[in-house]
Amino acid sequence: MILSDTDRKILHRLQSNLPLVSRPFLELSKELSLDEDTIIERIKFMIEKGFVRRLAPIINTQAMGREATLAAVNVPENRIDEVSAIINEYSGVSHNYLRKGKNKNIPYNIWFTMSAKDDEELHSRLKEIENRTGLTVRSLPTEKKFKIGVRFKIY
């Protein structure tokens, strides 16, 4: 399915903050030269069809007092499904991917992000994954952020 230019225009704008005013979509309608009802209807459509996952607060885990890390594991080829399923069981896991180096071999293949209520909980969960799988989990927490803002170019 192809989105219309109107949908793309709305989608592009929706990646930035929704105005904190009583009628936020009326505000957007002025910015985008569309009417409020159309904007509401198109957003509902795009949510229903899965183009928009959700229109919601994007939470800063660390600022909310939570701790997070990117973890990497070297999983033998024949255990990938088993180990990724164990990792997925943890509710703090938001991303979990099998990745391979394209131009070079690297020592890890499963990459996941995990957050927990504090450092202690985070490390005990990583330790638990190590114990359950018998594999070493390498934790690569952020030391410095240069950019975090998943906004896509929409054309």
Q: Which of residues 86-105 bind another protein (CB under 8 A)?
A: 87-88, 93-104
Residues 111, 72 contacting (CB under 8 angstroms): yes
Query: Contacts with another protein in 52-81 (CB under 8 A)?
Result: 52-61, 63-64, 66, 70, 72, 80
CB of 118 vs another protein, minimal distance in Å: 13
Q: Residues 151, 152, 153, 154: is their CA dihedral positive or negative?
A: negative
Q: Tokens 């600022």 correspond to what residue?
A: 63
CB of 149 vs another protein, minimal distance in Å: 7
The count of residues interacting with another protein (CB under 8 A) is 75
CB of 3 vs another protein, minimal distance in Å: 7
DSSP state of 106: -
Judging by DSSP bridges, how do beta strands 110-116 and 67-73 pair with one another? antiparallel
